[in-house]
A and B are shown apart, each in its own frame.
Chain A
């Protein structure tokens, strides 16, 4: 007999719990005001505007370093999320079981190239990351950031990452 589908609330609690656990583990994500929205397994990162993100107060524009940091964060969380997704979905972990998991080891950035395409205005920035290659040791991720129009990018970036070893 087929297993009964899980109630939606149980699924959401598991997925949102696992995502929040990743994000809350990193102090810098909180410092930068970065949060993540989830639709199924798709993530959208938001860097909420605050005055301390400004680089050039004369324009004013968001600091290029802050934009790069935001894109790198979106890439790392995307990789860690893809990794944990398989585990929590396969094992159908409960909210309590997820809370008891050890803090995940994050992928390490090998290199990260940011391409600045337009001025970052003083408002929220959004980003989505796409994993183009994910092997046992190395991953390649592309990230795009925008503000008002999804098609008018503020910046894009490509990075390579060293994945945490699975066998300790």
Chain B
């Protein structure tokens, strides 16, 4: 990981307009890992009966966090786009709680990066709200294009 890539990834949350609209924050950046979070916001409610945030807003956080972890992979040489993302919803996110996501880019090939993401509400990291697996396009630093 170079200093400049970390610098760029720091700006994910503020430079990307949709992340900014959801008030996302970058909480941690390491090799192939990222943690991002966003506050509870009544405008994002998906279930009016319970006040639980819409799954779509959680998708946006998990997608962004997944992208950040790909960006932070030591072999990364360029921009990535999401190829697919599957999200499993475990339980409703408790209203009023901040939602966090942690992503690990656990494998890369010449052209593809694979991520696993976990999202939780408040401090309940061991009781995830959702988990996701995704594939992103990837430019490998040393392997070159197949």
Contacts and interface: CB of A to CB of B under 8 A. Distances in A.
Contacts of A51: 17
A60 to B, nearest CB: 9
Choose among B59, B64, B89 the residue with the greatest number of A CB atoms under 10 Å from its CB: B59
Contact of B86 (A58, A106, A112): A112
B146 interface: no
Interface residues of B, number: 38
A58 B46 CA distance: 30
Interface stretch (B18-26, B27-35, B102-110, B120-128): B18-26
Given A63-B18, A73-B54, A28 B43 contact: yes
A111 interface: yes
A31 B18 CA distance: 12
A69 B84 CA distance: 14
A28 B86 contact: no
B75 interface: no
A54 B17 contact: yes
A112 B57 CA distance: 13
A35 interface: no
A84 to B, nearest CB: 15
Contact of B17 (A30, A57, A110, A119): A57
A65 B54 contact: no
B18 A66 contact: yes
Nearest to B63: A65
Contacts of A110: 88-89
| Interface range on chain A (Cβ under 8 Å from partner) | 35 or more
Nearest to B65: A65
A56 B68 CA distance: 12
Interface string A89-127: 000000000000001011011111111100100000000
A36 B16 CA distance: 27
Interface of A: 25-28, 30-32, 51-58, 61-66, 68-70, 72-73, 103, 105-106, 108-116, 119
11 contacts: A55-B16, A56-B79, A58-B79, A65-B18, A68-B85, A69-B57, A108-B89, A110-B89, A111-B87, A112-B86, A116-B83
Interface of B: 15-21, 42-49, 53-57, 59-64, 67, 79, 81-89, 92
Given A31-B43, A106-B46, 16 more contacts: A27-B42, A28-B43, A52-B17, A52-B18, A56-B81, A63-B64, A64-B82, A68-B85, A69-B56, A72-B56, A103-B48, A112-B89, A114-B59, A114-B82, A116-B82, A116-B84
